[in-house]
C-alpha cells in the first residue's frame, strides 16, 4: 500500500514529489463561534443546546450538523476544484469523556475503555469519502483539554492555556493520538497527523512543546510507521523556536500565515497591491527562515482573509497573491476555509436559510469583532484602576481571560434565549442549511483555487 512520506524537504507519493493544495474544511468537528455565528466556545455552544432542549435532542442536532456540513455533494465539488488535500480540525471531546474516570486514567488500557466512539464514527465517514474521491486528509487536534492556547478556537473557557500546566492533559492526548494512529495506520488517504493546532505557551513553559511532541511521536510510532507527523510552532503556529530537534524521519513542519491579523492596515482596499505582495512576501520569508533550517517539507495549514463585509475581488487579490508566494517557495498549502456561515468560507448557507436567519438575529447582540473590541476595552478599564502602566503583553494576555467571562454571559443572555425563542421545532431544522444544495459558492474563490490546483 502507498503512503505519503517525507524525503528531505519534499513530500513524496509513489516515488514522486507531491505538493498539497487544498482547503481547511472549516468549523465541522470543532465549533468556532465566528464561523457558525453563535457566541461561546464549542463546549459552551453545545451546553446551551443541551440545557435548553435536553441531551438527547442536542446530540441529534450536532449529529445532523456533522452529516449536513460535509457529504457526498461537498466532496464532489471539492474534487471538481482539482484539490488533492483537506485539513480537518477536531475537538478532543468527540473522543474523550471528561467525566469518565477511565478516559482520564493514566493507565492506557483503562483509557481505551473510556474512549467515546463518536469521534471514530465521524473519522470513519471522513476517510471513506476521502478514499472514494481520492483526496488526502490531515486531521488536526484543534482543541485539547485545558486549551493549548488561550483563545476560543481551542475550546478554552478560561482564557488560560492550562494544557501546559497539567501533565494529565498532555498524557491524555498522547494516549488519544496513539489510539487514533492504531486504528488508521493503514488508511491510504490519511496524509498525516497534525499533532496540535496553534500552540501558545502562556506563560512561558520552556521545553514543554518539544517534550509533548517527542512523547506523541514515540506513541504514534509504536503503532503506525506509515503516516507523516506534522508539527506546529509556538505563538499560534508561527514561531518554530520552541522546537529544537526533529528526530523522526517522517516528520514535517506546518505553520499558519495571517498577515492581516497582525498588520490590519494591510487589509485596506487602498493598500497598493504591488506593495502588499512585497510586504506579504517579506513577512513570509522572515517567518519560514528558521523552519527551512530543519530541511523538512513545509505546509501552510491555514491562510485566508475575511470575506464578510468586504469586496470579494479585493479579498481574492490577497488570496491569489498569498498562494503565489507559497507556490514560488514550493510550500504546500490549505486555505481557511471551505465552508462557514458567511464569514470567510468559499461555500456558505444562503441568506434565506434557517441558519442564516438565526445568525442574523444573534448578530443584533453579538459578533466576533465586537467581542474582541469589548474585551480589549474592559481590560484597559481594569488596568486604569491600579497604579502604574500595564504593559502591552499583559493586556494582550488578559483580554483572553476577559473574553472568557463574556462567553458565560453570551451563552446565558444571548444564545440560550435565542434558542428558547425559536423552539425545538425550528432549531432542529437548522443543520440542513449547511447542505451543499442549500449553499452558495463564492465563484471567484473557487476560480482561484482551481487555477492553482489544476495548474499542477
Q: Which three cell numbers stand for residue 402?
A: 476577559
In eight-state DSSP terms, residue 415 is: I
Banded pLDDT at 1 (limits 50, 70, 90): confident
Please give the average per-residue pLDDT across 184-195, as a whole number.
98
pLDDT tens for 28-53 read: 999 999 999 999 999 999 999 999 99
Report d(CA 337, CA 60) in Å as an integer.
Answer: 25
113: pLDDT strictly greater than 80: no
Please give the average per-residue pLDDT across 270-285, as a whole number.
94
Banded pLDDT at 203 (limits 50, 70, 90): low
Banded pLDDT at 155 (limits 50, 70, 90): very high
The candidate with the shortest Cα–Cα distance to 37, out of 354, 424, 397, 409, is: 354
Which pLDDT does position 76 carry in this prediction? 98
Helix or strand holding residue 90 (H, E): strand 85-91
Q: Which position among 32, 179, 198, 320 bears the catalytic label?
A: 198
Catalytic (active site) residue 371: no
pLDDT tens for 375-387 read: 999 999 999 999 9
Report d(CA 315, CA 321) in Å as an integer.
Answer: 10
Catalytic (active site) residue 352: no
Residue 236, CB-side half-sphere exposure with 13 Å CA sphere: 13
Residue 252 CA, chain-centre distance (Å), reads: 18
| CATH hierarchy code of domain 5-453 | 3.20.20.80
Which pLDDT does position 308 carry in this prediction? 83
Looking at the chain, the whole-number percentage of residues with pLDDT higher than 70 is 97
User: What does the buried/exposed string (b/e) look like for 79-97 if buried means 16 or more CB atoms within 10 Å of the residue's CB?
Assistant: eebbbbbbbbbbbbbbbbe
pLDDT tens for 98-111 read: 887 576 666 667 77
**pTM for this one?**
0.96
Banded pLDDT at 310 (limits 50, 70, 90): confident
Q: Is 188 exposed, middle or buried (0-12, 13-18, 19+ CB in 10 A)?
A: middle
Q: Which three cell numbers stand for residue 198?
A: 496553534
Please give the average per-residue pLDDT across 238-247, as a whole number.
95
Report d(CA 103, CA 383) in Å as an integer.
Answer: 41
Cβ 311 vs Cβ 304: under 8 Å: no
206: pLDDT strictly greater than 90: no
Q: Which position among 171, 179, 302, 397 bears the catalytic label?
A: 302
Three-class SS of residue 172?
helix
Report d(CA 120, CA 80) in Å as an integer.
Answer: 27
Residue with cell 484602576: 385
Amino acid at each position: 500500500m502507498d503512503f505519503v512520506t517525507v524525503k528531505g524537504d519534499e513530500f513524496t507519493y509513489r516515488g514522486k514529489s507531491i505538493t498539497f493544495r487544498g482547503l481547511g474544511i472549516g468549523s465541522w468537528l470543532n465549533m468556532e463561534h465566528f464561523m457558525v455565528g453563535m457566541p461561546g466556545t464549542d463546549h459552551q455552544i453545545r451546553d446551551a443546546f443541551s440545557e435548553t432542549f435536553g441531551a438527547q435532542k442536542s446530540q441529534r442536532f450536532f449529529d445532523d450538523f456533522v452529516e449536513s456540513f460535509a457529504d457526498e455533494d461537498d466532496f464532489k465539488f471539492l474534487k471538481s476544484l482539482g484539490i488533492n488535500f483537506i485539513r480537518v480540525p477536531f475537538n478532543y471531546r468527540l473522543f474523550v469523556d471528561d467525566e469518565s474516570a477511565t478516559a482520564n486514567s493514566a493507565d492506557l488500557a483503562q483509557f481505551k475503555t473510556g474512549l467515546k466512539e463518536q469521534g471514530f464514527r465521524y473519522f470513519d465517514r471522513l476517510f471513506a469519502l476521502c478514499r472514494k474521491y481520492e483526496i488526502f486528509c490531515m486531521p488536526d487536534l484543534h482543541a485539547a483539554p485545558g486549551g493549548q492556547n488561550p483563545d476560543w478556537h481551542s475550546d478554552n473557557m478560561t482564557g488560560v492555556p492550562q494544557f501546559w500546566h497539567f501533565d494529565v492533559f498532555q498524557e491524555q492526548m498522547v494516549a488519544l493520538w496513539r489510539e487514533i494512529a492504531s486504528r488508521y495506520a493503514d488508511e491510504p488517504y490519511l496524509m498525516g497527523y497534525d499533532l496540535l493546532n496553534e500552540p501558545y505557551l502562556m506563560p512561558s513553559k520552556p521545553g514543554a512543546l518539544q517534550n509533548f511532541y517527542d512523547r506523541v511521536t514515540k506513541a504514534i510510532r509504536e503503532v503506525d510507521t506509515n503516516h507523516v507527523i506534522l508539527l506546529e510552532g509556538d505563538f499560534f503556529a508561527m514561531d518554530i523556536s520552541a522546537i529544537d530537534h526533529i528526530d523522526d524521519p517522517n516528520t514535517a513542519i506546518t505553520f499558519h500565515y495571517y498577515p492581516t491579523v497582525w498588520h490590519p492596515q494591510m487589509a485596506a482596499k487602498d493598500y497598493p497591491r504591488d506593495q502588499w505582495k512585497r510586504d506579504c512576501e517579506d513577512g513570509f520569508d522572515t517567518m519560514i527562515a528558521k523552519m527551512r533550517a530543519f530541511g523538512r517539507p513545509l505546509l501552510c495549514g491555514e491562510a485566508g482573509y475575511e470575506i464578510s463585509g468586504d469586496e470579494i475581488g479585493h479579498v481574492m487579490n490577497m488570496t491569489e497573491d498569498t498562494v503565489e508566494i507559497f507556490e514560488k517557495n514550493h510550500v504546500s498549502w490549505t486555505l481557511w476555509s471551505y465552508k462557514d456561515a458567511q464569514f470567510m468560507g468559499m461555500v456558505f448557507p444562503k441568506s434565506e436559510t434557517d441558519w442564516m436567519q438565526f445568525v442574523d438575529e444573534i448578530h443584533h447582540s453579538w459578533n466576533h469583532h465586537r467581542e474582541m473590541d469589548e474585551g480589549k476595552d474592559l481590560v484597559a478599564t481594569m488596568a486604569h484602576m491600579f497604579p502604574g502602566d500595564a504593559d502591552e503583553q499583559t493586556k494582550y494576555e488578559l483580554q483572553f481571560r476577559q473574553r472568557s467571562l463574556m462567553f458565560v454571559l453570551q451563552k446565558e443572555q444571548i444564545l440560550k434565549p435565542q434558542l428558547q425563542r425559536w423552539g425545538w421545532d425550528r432549531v432542529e431544522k437548522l443543520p440542513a442549511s449547511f447542505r451543499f444544495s442549500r449553499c452558495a459558492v463564492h465563484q471567484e474563490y473557487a476560480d482561484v483555487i482551481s487555477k492553482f490546483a489544476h495548474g499542477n
